[in-house]
Structure 1
Amino acid sequence: MNIVPNTIPESPIMQLHDPLIEKMQISVSIKRDDLLHPIIHGNKWRKLKYNLAAFASSDKSELLTFGGPFSNHLYATAAAGKIFKIPTRAIVRGPFLDESNPTIRFARACGMQLHPVSRIDYRQRHDPSYLEQLHTTYPNAYILEEGGTNKAALKGVNELAVSLPEHDYLLCPTGSGGTLAGLITGHTRKQVLGIAVLKEAQYLVPQINALAPQPICDWRLMTNYHDGGYGRFSSSLWEFCQWMYRTHHLPLEPIYSGKMMYALWQLIEQGYFPAGSQIIAVHTGGLQGKDGLRYRQLINAS
């Protein structure tokens, strides 16, 4: 198996021009990691590639990971398995699988073996004794954490941080904390802002500190912009995502990067950033998640 970490060129940076930005005398650019890989989008490729390299150098023969039924990580891991000819399997939050769900259909089409479990069992995914049981049941499996967040993942995100041009503020959506942890250990600018996409996300702070015990810049986890919690969003947020696409040709989904951009816009309106600030927001991809939202009729079909 040949997995070469640096075969994918860097994603482009897009500058936004808007009356609000000009009024506040700042600059805003978007790191378009949604364009980084044609199938394994954004931070999912960043997190996976060094885990794939670690897998390739291990004595394991398959990948095992965890995810909800609409998980971007599940989608990305299944795609990586297909592309690199790696057998994959996933513990899926169930207890039943909807075989019409587009993420489940895609994972099956990629050859991923899916193992639905109850929500109670799924909560054990970080428990050492449960993980030991999985090692016993699947002795040939390289076990990859939910969301792909671990030390190997940080190495890929570090590369994103050091690739960026000069700036004062860097923003990213934050789910499991891996992208934020990677940015604050590969970044030398003023401040990194993680926009938490789930409720009561302060519990992520010690996890981020454990992943990145020696950050090389200031950082903040902003927990008031979750817009209802993980997987939830208001009509105003979705309208904002649609406005961003119509006005700036920036495609967004309302679960991750859409929440980050909505938060960024509110912070700009509130005068959070001093005049002259150079801001970069990382679009972490996940646009395939809109298929699941359409399937559940949470957004329109357009």
Structure 2
Amino acid sequence: MQPRLRLPSPLTQLRDDRLARRDVRLLVKRDDLIHPELPGNKWRKLKYNLERARQQGHSTILTFGGAYSNAIRATAAAGHYFGFDTIGVIRGEEHLPLNPSLAYATSRGMRLAYLDRSTYRRKHSAEVVDALHREFGEFYLLPEGASNELAVRGCAELPAEITEPYDVICCPVGTGGTLAGIAGGIAGGIAGGIAGSPAAGPRAVGFCVLKGAQFLEAEVARLQRAAFGSVSGNWELAYDFHFGGYAKRTPELDAFIADWARRHGDVLDRIYVAKMMYGIVARAEAGWFPPGSTVVAVVTG
């Protein structure tokens, strides 16, 4: 039975005194509520990839990820609901018992395999992919984070769901696919426009959750070329809110998450969403958003 998806995802206004003092309005796009097992950008990224896999006659989907990857979880869930076998190739060594993310993936029928970190860095090379085919047979290859041109096209559908004027759309960034798609799809939204911004109309800001993520500048551009044939000039990456790197945390981030829960009653995902929200608040307090701006924060799940 295929899942019931909540689309378009809810858009709600969230009042936060720190933003209100700067006359910044915050709208929250709750993509995490699309489906409990296929939340947020994961469904948007998988949507057209599942269609392509089916069209090509594949019965198995293989993808890559870290031990706490949300994309691994979502691919396992998609396989369960849409009738695909799934294989998750995990960075690093096996650790037992499995953490909750990998335990969930196996509960949805995913087979796990592991690559040492050196080999994992070459995961998309012909040598590594051929070896995986020899081990597992035929499969539809889904890149790490499910980010490819089909994923970008799925994410590009998000801005058209925003029914109020806005100036900036913010999202967390791991592999760059969500930012590439949102920026490419902004033309379908309702333009507000920040005075003095480099390009007219709304812009997209991606908050990197990886340390040393400057390489994502080229990756987002590559994904946009693959999906749309050109690079839009309406996006940027924020590198200063990674808190030590992927899945890393600090007392400062933990305090922010606890304070957010007291203020708003929601516990933020610390790997992705908390870092974005911290960045939005910090930029607002620093005056980065002009007074009167409306900011949309995408909760990716």
TM-score, structure 1 normalization: 0.88
Amino acid at match of 1:161: P
> Residue deviations 1:12-70, cap 9 Å, x none?
01211122222111211110111111211111111111111111111211011111111
> Residue deviations 1:202-258, cap 9 Å, x none?
101111111113244511111111111111121111221122122112331111010
Please state if 1:199 is matched with 2:199: no
Please name the residue that 2:27 is paired with. 29
CA distance in 2, matches of 1:257, 1:219: 18
CA distance in 2, matches of 1:211, 1:139: 28
Please name the residue that 1:12 is paired with. 10
Secondary structure of 1:88's partner? Answer: strand
Amino acid at match of 1:268: A
- Contact 1:13–1:30 under 8 Å retained in 2: yes
Please name the residue that 1:150 is paired with. 148
Please name the residue that 1:300 is paired with. none
Would you identify which runs of 4 or more consecutive aligned residues in structure 1 move more than 4 Å? none
Please name the residue that 1:252 is paired with. 268
CA distance in 2, matches of 1:128, 1:38: 35
> Residue deviations 1:172-208, cap 9 Å, x none?
1111000000011111332111111111111011111
- Contact 1:169–1:280 under 8 Å retained in 2: yes
Matches within 5 A, 1:67-216: 67-165=65-163, 166-188=165-187, 189-213=201-225, 214-216=230-232
Greater displacement, 161-170 / 72-81: 161-170
Amino acid at match of 1:37: H
Amino acid at match of 1:259: K
Task: Among all aligned residue pairs of Structure 1 and Structure 2, give the percentage whose two residues are the same amino acid.
Answer: 38
- Contact 2:119–2:128 under 8 Å retained in 1: no
Please name the residue that 1:55 is paired with. 53
Please name the residue that 1:266 is paired with. 282
Deviation of the 1:3 alpha carbon: 7.1
Secondary structure of 1:125's partner? Answer: coil
Deviation of the 1:99 alpha carbon: 2.9
Amino acid at match of 1:88: T
- Contact 1:186–1:216 under 8 Å retained in 2: no
Deviation of the 1:136 alpha carbon: 4.0
Amino acid at match of 1:62: T
Alignment size in residue pairs: 283
TM-score, structure 2 normalization: 0.89
Amino acid at match of 1:275: P
Identify unmatched segments of 5+ residues in structure 1. Answer: 286-302
Greater displacement, 257-266 / 159-168: 159-168
Deviation of the 1:137 alpha carbon: 3.6
- Contact 1:3–1:56 under 8 Å retained in 2: no
CA distance in 2, matches of 1:26, 1:137: 53
CA distance in 1, matches of 2:282, 2:56: 46
Q: RMSD of aligned C-alpha atoms?
A: 1.8
Greater displacement, 270-279 / 155-164: 155-164
- Contact 2:261–2:267 under 8 Å retained in 1: yes
CA distance in 2, matches of 1:215, 1:15: 31
Amino acid at match of 2:172: P
Greater displacement, 273-282 / 92-101: 92-101
- Contact 1:98–1:104 under 8 Å retained in 2: no
Identify unmatched segments of 5+ residues in structure 2. Answer: 188-200
Deviation of the 1:8 alpha carbon: 4.2
